[in-house]
Structure 1
Amino acid sequence: MRFPMPWRITAPLSVLIVALAGCSGSDTEPEVTAGSGATAVTNCGVAVPAGAPPTKIFAAFHNGIEAVYALGAGDKLVGAAYLDNPLLPEYAAQFHPDQQEPTYYPEEYPSREEVLRLDPDFVVSGFTGAFTTEGLGTRAELNKIGIGSYLFTQYCPTADGEGQKSLADNDVSLDSVYGDLTDLGRVLGTTTQAEALVTKMKQTVAGVESELAGVKRPTVAMLNRPGGGELRVFGSEDVATTIIEKAGGIQVFDDVPGRLARIGTEELIKRKPDVIVIPACCGADVGPDGAQGVIDGLKSDPALANVPAIRDNRIYAVTFAEITPGVRNADAVANLAKLLHPEKF
């Protein structure tokens, strides 16, 4: 979606809130008024100008936050919400929420009014949920008050303003991730950093694939059990499947669409995965050890005792951040490959 140039407007907060409340969520393609010589990227069917970079950024969700830092625009971050795990060390050194640099919202998504108080001219979101009428507003609504936006394309909705249950038929390959980082780098005015980042990620994955040539691939189930309740699986139509396959595994739930789909214990028994991977979540201080409760629960369930992954003690913890579309995905491939094929590394 896009907004006319310049990126920022200087109306008082009360005017912005009234303007946003009056916007129609039916607008899906705002008019783009680009500066002389400016180009645009297309993001979820929305034209995003890539001329004058934004100056004050709000980032939602872990992958959105880390992308801003990785692309060299961390000094423009005025607000951030929802870290799934600790930031990577190189970004954590720049993250000072205790000093309100940026303002961080750890547990609840900030209200529209709260985000507008920060006066951003651009919002980067890793998931669809931010851009709804119930959230920050649709991208068309935000555009009308001068706030630009970018959404990771694996979560493009079928229409602007739709939520997580209305995803389009999206590309969940690493090429999609590379494309997002490249396009976002153009929008943020950091093309050099984006090109270097994508090149490094491609080299990492290529190196892993070279080491794994000809290996016997184990079947892999990536799942979680929020609150100790129902099992939920990371299935097809999700970058987790791509990571499993690039790391030398076979997605055992390749016929289950989407992320965190509910499955029964009997279904896990039926699939007989060789390996189970548990992504730990959620919080700025939750590392891989945050998955230990789920792992212990699976191991202690007598009904699962003969599942190969449990029988052979091949249950591994990773982080939710690394299996979400973003800057960690190449390293996620390398890390999982070492777990699946330790003899190769």
Structure 2
Amino acid sequence: MFHEGLENIMRSRPLPSVLSTTVRAAVPAAALALVLAGCAGEPEPASADAAPEAGFPVDVTACGHTSTVEAAPERAVTLNQGATEVMLALGLADRMAGTAYLDDPEPAAAWAEEYASVPVIAKEYPTREELLATRPDFVYASYTSAFDPEVAGPQGDLEADGVASYLSPFGCADRADIPATTFEAVWDEIDAVAIAFGVADRGADIRAEQERTLAELGDEGAGAGLDVLWYDSGDKTPLVGAGASGPQLVLDAVGATNLYADVEDGWADGSWEEVVAADPDVIVLADASWSTAAEKRAYLEKDPVLSQLTAVREGRFATVPYSMGTPGVRLVDGASTLAEQLSALP
């Protein structure tokens, strides 16, 4: 189906280890576990040709795994849309040797040109052989399933082959390693990747810009007074955005109330009986390649009971691309997109 239920909760959610003084000066102290490697003092290179790149090596740690990045990667491969979009947002398309596995029907319009310049090595996950054929020096993924033996392979095996890797902390296999879903944690991941590629200033710029956007959305309050169902997928049982999720952050950002805010999970099975009883003002339809917004709307409009919901009868729907509702670089864009649609509803 899709990323093994998107790891059930990456649909659920490295955080900070310690940064060296040098790295702290470049990014917020909360940036994810990246520690300048090497001994104290200034090591003497064996020769001018072997001199280490400034600011490297660095250690990248997430989900209990540490990879040493000896120099800014030049042939990265991203697996899953979230990882791909972090790279594109950081202006690193020219450092990418390949990508795979979109969640949305189409890539983000903002980076369509850059995305088109990166080889797509598989529609979903590539085989390990297909991935290694790109000669990667760094593999970055959003979900732990990307490091299955038949895909990229375990991170330790990649390390043994001289390939550094990084798994989004929101995709850790052990839920105890997953940070709380906050915008701060999202920015920490972006900072970590930016440091690994030697572009810490770009990560800081993204953080500052998104903080400004959230402040503006809070002032506007486009969702104030609205009860909202975030409908992800499913028919007999709806999968919904719950209280510890990207959708919750998006709804909070616009001032709306999540119908399932009290459920302490990222994504959860809801109940149509509960939805009918609550009769939400608005239904947000997640638009994903495996469950489009159009399909979900058609289901609601056809069902004899659900079609009588106020939001369905009055066409009070909003559509948000799946990737704008998961912890990642487009989460703030999701809030902006939702605010625009809520403001335009009758």
| 2:74 corresponds to 1:55 | yes
| Alignment equivalent of 1:314, drawn from 298, 313, 316 | 316
CA contact (8 A) 2:138 2:164 kept: yes
Normalised to the residue count of structure 2, the TM-score between the two structures is 0.76
CA contact (8 A) 1:124 1:150 kept: yes
Q: Which residue of 2 aligns with 1:245?
A: 252
Q: How does 1:257-268 map to 2 (within 5 A)?
A: 257-268=264-275
| Alignment equivalent of 1:183, drawn from 187, 192, 213 | 192
What do residues 234-265 of structure 1 show as CA deviations (whole Å, max 9, x unaligned)? 22322121111112111211243545533332
CA contact (8 A) 1:61 1:82 kept: yes
What do residues 139-167 of structure 1 show as CA deviations (whole Å, max 9, x unaligned)? 22322222111222222221xxxxxxx56
CA contact (8 A) 1:49 1:187 kept: no
Task: Classify 1:187/1:293 alpha carbon distance in 2 versus 1 (closer, same or farther; 3 Å).
Answer: same
Q: Which residue of 1 aligns with 2:113?
A: 93
Aligned AA for 1:277?
Answer: V
| 2:121 corresponds to 1:104 | yes
CA contact (8 A) 2:99 2:122 kept: yes
CA contact (8 A) 1:155 1:170 kept: no
CA contact (8 A) 1:50 1:189 kept: no
CA contact (8 A) 1:51 1:187 kept: no
| Alignment equivalent of 1:335, drawn from 328, 334, 337 | 337
What do residues 48-104 of structure 1 show as CA deviations (whole Å, max 9, x unaligned)? 44662112111011111111111121112111111123223342212337xxx4133
Aligned AA for 1:104?
Answer: I
CA contact (8 A) 1:236 1:255 kept: yes
Where in structure 1 are there 5+ consecutive unaligned residues? 2-31, 159-165
| Alignment equivalent of 1:198, drawn from 198, 207, 216 | 207
| 2:283 corresponds to 1:273 | no
| 2:84 corresponds to 1:75 | no
Number of equivalenced pairs: 297
Aligned AA for 2:101?
Answer: Y
Question: Is the partner of 1:95 in helix, strand or coil?
Answer: helix
What do residues 3-22 of structure 1 show as CA deviations (whole Å, max 9, x unaligned)? xxxxxxxxxxxxxxxxxxxx
Q: Which residue of 2 aligns with 1:326?
A: 328
CA contact (8 A) 1:72 1:190 kept: no
**Greater Cα shift, 61-70 or 264-273:** 264-273
Question: Is the partner of 1:278 in helix, strand or coil?
Answer: strand
What do residues 119-139 of structure 1 show as CA deviations (whole Å, max 9, x unaligned)? 111111122221233532222
Task: Classify 1:219/1:200 alpha carbon distance in 2 versus 1 (closer, same or farther; 3 Å).
Answer: same
Q: How does 1:101-180 map to 2 (within 5 A)?
A: 101-106=118-123, 108-158=124-174, 166=175, 168-180=177-189
CA deviation after TM superposition for structure 1 residue 41, in Å: 4.5
CA contact (8 A) 1:48 1:148 kept: yes
CA contact (8 A) 1:249 1:340 kept: no
Rounded to whole Å, the distance in 1 between the matches of 2:177 and 2:332 is 24
CA contact (8 A) 2:318 2:342 kept: no
Aligned AA for 1:75?
Answer: D
| Alignment equivalent of 1:217, drawn from 207, 215, 225 | 225
CA contact (8 A) 1:155 1:168 kept: no
Normalised to the residue count of structure 1, the TM-score between the two structures is 0.76
CA contact (8 A) 2:319 2:338 kept: no
Aligned AA for 1:328?
Answer: R
Where in structure 2 are there 5+ consecutive unaligned residues? 1-13, 15-35, 44-54
Aligned CA RMSD, in angstroms, stands at 2.9
CA deviation after TM superposition for structure 1 residue 180, in Å: 0.7
Task: Classify 1:48/1:249 alpha carbon distance in 2 versus 1 (closer, same or farther; 3 Å).
Answer: farther
Task: Classify 1:44/1:218 alpha carbon distance in 2 versus 1 (closer, same or farther; 3 Å).
Answer: same
CA contact (8 A) 2:128 2:149 kept: no
Aligned AA for 2:154?
Answer: T
Question: Is the partner of 2:228 in helix, strand or coil?
Answer: strand
Task: Classify 1:255/1:90 alpha carbon distance in 2 versus 1 (closer, same or farther; 3 Å).
Answer: closer
Rounded to whole Å, the distance in 2 between the matches of 1:241 and 1:71 is 25
Q: Which residue of 1 aligns with 2:8?
A: none
What do residues 306-329 of structure 1 show as CA deviations (whole Å, max 9, x unaligned)? 433224321221211211222211
CA contact (8 A) 2:37 2:59 kept: no
CA contact (8 A) 2:220 2:254 kept: no
Task: Classify 1:47/1:217 alpha carbon distance in 2 versus 1 (closer, same or farther; 3 Å).
Answer: farther
